[in-house]
Amino acid sequence: MTSLPPELPPREFASADISGADTAADATAGHGVAHLEPLDVDGVHTVAVGSVLWLVAFLALLPFTAGLRDADRLWWLWTCLTGFGFGVLGLVYCRRRRDAIRRNPASSPVETSRFGAAG
């Protein structure tokens, strides 16, 4: 395990100030706290793009079916098709979730982690 140089004290995440005010550690290290609003991401666009990419990969491999079979790599083709299928299921789920949140915004999940999405 590598230790930090003496001029850089380790950050204490357990006592991190999430109120938006600069802490003493941030001021001495030259870091400020960014005031950012959380992204309103429902996942529909992300899942749709991923599904299309799986479909494109499937269609790109389709002409090479014989070569894939000879090289014992036919599973690549079925992996792409399965990725597209799961993507379609994920798209249905994300669209239903997005529509439910739009119908009743008060029931949307509240961010509870003090470290955001990473926590």
pLDDT digits (tens, 9 = 90+) for 16-74: 455 555 555 545 566 677 777 767 678 999 999 999 999 999 999 999 999 999 999 99
Q: What is the mean pLDDT of residues 80-108?
A: 92
The mean per-residue pLDDT over the stretch 79-91 comes to 98
Q: Give, in degrees to the nearest 5, the angle at Cα 117 between 111 and 119.
A: 95
Q: How far is CA 4 from CA 7, 8, 12, 55, in A?
A: 8, 6, 13, 47
Q: Residue 73 is which amino acid?
A: R
> How many angstroms separate the Cα of 113 from the Cα of each of 4, 29, 48, 89, 118?
27, 24, 28, 28, 8
Q: Is the pTM value of this prediction over 0.75?
A: no
DSSP code string of 29-62: HT------PPP---SHHHHHHHHHHHHHHHHHHG
98-108 pLDDT, tens digit per residue, is 999 889 877 76
- What ranges do the domains of the chain cover? 44-105
Rounded Cα gap, residues 46 and 44, in angstroms:
6
Token couple for 63:
């002409």
